[in-house]
Amino acid sequence: MRVLQVPPRLRLATLSVFIALPLVAVHVVLVTRAPWWNLPLKSLEVWIASSTLVLLPLVVWIQRGRAWAFGLLGVVAIFWCLLSGIAAFRLTSPALGFFTASLIAFWALILSWVRFEMTKSFFELPMRWFQGHPQAVPGADCRISFVGSEMPEIRARISRIDEEGLCIHANGIFRLRAADEAEMILSYREREVRCQASAMTIAQEGRGGALKTIAGFRFRGMAPDARKELGDFVEYLRGEGHA
């Protein structure tokens, strides 16, 4: 999968990971039991720099849609919390114990937020390694035309959809850019709704004559009435057990 645009809320969630850097400094001070007028500056510099070198690539990889990077971030969080808990026990430090509890709460909140943003319909690829192509919502179709583009109209199947965006798959290969604005007509049985969206992610799957393009689009630039119609459409799909 290639990310064309990083969703704003995913960017905010991943950048919030760097709040951990001041926590690293607090952790070092608590473990060394240094007074505020004689802080271990050298140790602080080393640990903050090391933590930055670990967290920065993980944040970049997550923003590029690498699910395994989220798993690595979780491993880093668990390892840090375990080390802090062990240090609190061995040093018999109540302050470090309270810090460990706060650290666990911090990572639980951040990891839940990042995971929530990564699983949006327009960002997460709705296909597992054992599937030859993504599953489609039965009977749900999408016609896509691009504003100011010579690209012909695309007919696609809807794989996932929510109020914020959708993931589609279509036969063949087509190119998308971050600046591409799409006009969509979504249909399911007797219902039809028009919406506007921008391309967020794209991936090509398959070989030979079975090539498919999978793409995620985020809804944007829609009037309140259009948003309501879209919300009613998604709720209808949910009522049918599909969204």
What's the pLDDT tens digit per position in 137-173? 888 889 988 877 777 788 888 988 889 999 988 887 7
Q: Which CATH architecture has domain 140-239?
A: Beta Barrel (2.40)
DSSP 169-217: EEES-----TT-EEEEEEEETTEEEEEEEEEEEEEEE--GGG-EEEEEE
Q: Are 188 and 212 in contact (CB under 8 A)?
A: no
What's the pLDDT tens digit per position in 112-123? 999 999 999 899
pLDDT of residue 29: 93
pLDDT of residue 128: 53
pLDDT at 202 over 70: yes
- Report the share of the chain in percent with pLDDT over 70: 91
The pTM score is: 0.87
Best-predicted range by mean pLDDT (42-46, 142-146, 181-185, 187-191): 42-46
pLDDT of residue 241: 76
